[in-house]
Structure 1
Amino acid sequence: MKMLRIGLVGTGPWASSTHAPALAAHPDVEFSGAWGRRPDAADALASAHGTTAYADVDELFAASDAVAFAVPPDVQAPLAARAAAAGCHLLLDKPVATTVAAARDLAAAAEAARVASVVFFTLRFAGPTSAWVSEQAATEGWFTGRADWYGSFYSPDGTSPFSSPWRAQRGGLWDVGPHALSVLMPVLGDVTDVTAAAGQADLVHVILRHTGGASSTATLSLTTPAKASGVTVELRGEAGTALMPSGGGALDAFGSAVDALVDSVRSGRPHACDVRFGLRVTEILAQAEEQLPAG
């Protein structure tokens, strides 16, 4: 079968270190071009990977069968809706949007255009964590879980080249909250009730009730002191206790997400992490945010 032409929207650190190298190296993909809000960055990224930099995003859509996105969520949502309307399949970043209205518009555009979609929830595509989620989802009797996500992007003693203004503004709820939901929901079921409380800085505590009666908690932050940072996902049930292993690298995980999109395009089967799941994650996080103090 012919190679899938995938273009890239975005030229920042994630696009340069993960998205572009994975697209350029994928055996079933032709890296069809790049577009960014900074033309000089788009030129540099395209030159590094032997593809074309486009000055007009719609020209990139016209030259592509699918488009990957590495831009802030509220930039991504309307651009991805335009890409879907142009007939492009979608490889989206999480969260798909930070407002329910924008996420619903995107999901509706993808459905109307009948395009395939995959949302890159890293832990659902990294080998060790993906296998762990599948194993626990096949095990019955879990009654509770917890996902503790203590990031140090914005602590005085912890910085990251992947920090960005939207993360600083929206905090851990919107940046690492999608990761927590992406591993808790496949195992415990959809969320029926949400309770949220604020802690220091951007720290948020979320309590979730799932279909079937299980419950879980998520503790989310990007401002944890570096020495206290870390990630733990734990399940408890009739089988005992299960701890999620460390994940693989982002580059390999994104390659697996590309695999998933290629398979969905060719088979016509929707992926579990499609735009509809992305919409559901945005709905749940928006419910949590409504319960937090303004600002």
Structure 2
Amino acid sequence: MKEIVLITGAGGLIAQELSKKINNDFEVRFLTRNKKHENDFEWDVKRGSIDESALENVSHIIHLAGANISEKRWTAERKKELISSRVDSAKLLLDTVRKKNIKLKSFISASGINYYGTLTSEKIFTENDTQGNDFLSEVVVLWERAADEFEIQNLAERVVKIRTAVVLSEKEGALKKMLPPIQYGIGSALGTGKQYMPWIHIKDICSIYEFALKNSHINGAYNANSPEHTTNENLTKQIARTIQKPLFMPKIPGFVLKLIFGELANALLEGSRASSQKIQNAGFRFEFPNLQNSLEDLLSKKV
């Protein structure tokens, strides 16, 4: 019998790609707001409702649910939603697991590389560094605390927190948003362009989740970003080079982005490096550690 893995955030790119990757080795179920397939189970975090049959005989939960950080301006209401979609969803899972007296083999939660704060510095952050002191850092800290409750309450043998960088995919996310302006000749770096952008190829982030799922020695927090560091300006230039488009527009001033996006602009204008050495020391190997190779793999059809 295959072990059962329950994945939240079913509509997201990582959930879809990851499920394809592990489908041969595990039985995969999804928690979703709208049931579309046989292996879908409905839940509604705002109402605190969940189809409890989703958890029957489950061995692992991969918690990917969470409202998109960069989708809307950070109003007070939006901030609450960003936190609730991560924390309250984890609490609903926790309460249901406890109610059904389930002991999970693992609870693997998405997390964010913004744990260390949104700032530009020459420091390379490791998992031993302390949390930052801005909103995104607060979101991540609360997110991880909610995950840790599974271990604290002895409901999971281990808890893994994947501090995810910007995921590069041609299907959605940052890369897809950056492409059209560059394709039409109006692409440019943001602010100074010197802010670092920790990144990871979609195939590698899915492989990290698979690695965490299959290896019981993986426990705690891990930075999930490729070992090669880049800045916003360099990423923009390499995308243009890969799809063979010129870049001649001036950088977009920071104040313009702040007028458009408000506080959210800080996440675009600031960024530091993070080390992925811990996950590598644990035995993980990146398929796409190099940015140029990653872009060529993702954008070869765009040329």
User: Which range, TM-score by smaller chain?
Assistant: 0.3 to 0.5
Larger RCO of the pair (alpha carbons < 8 Å, separation 6+): 1
Q: As a proportion of its length, which structure holds more strand? A: 1
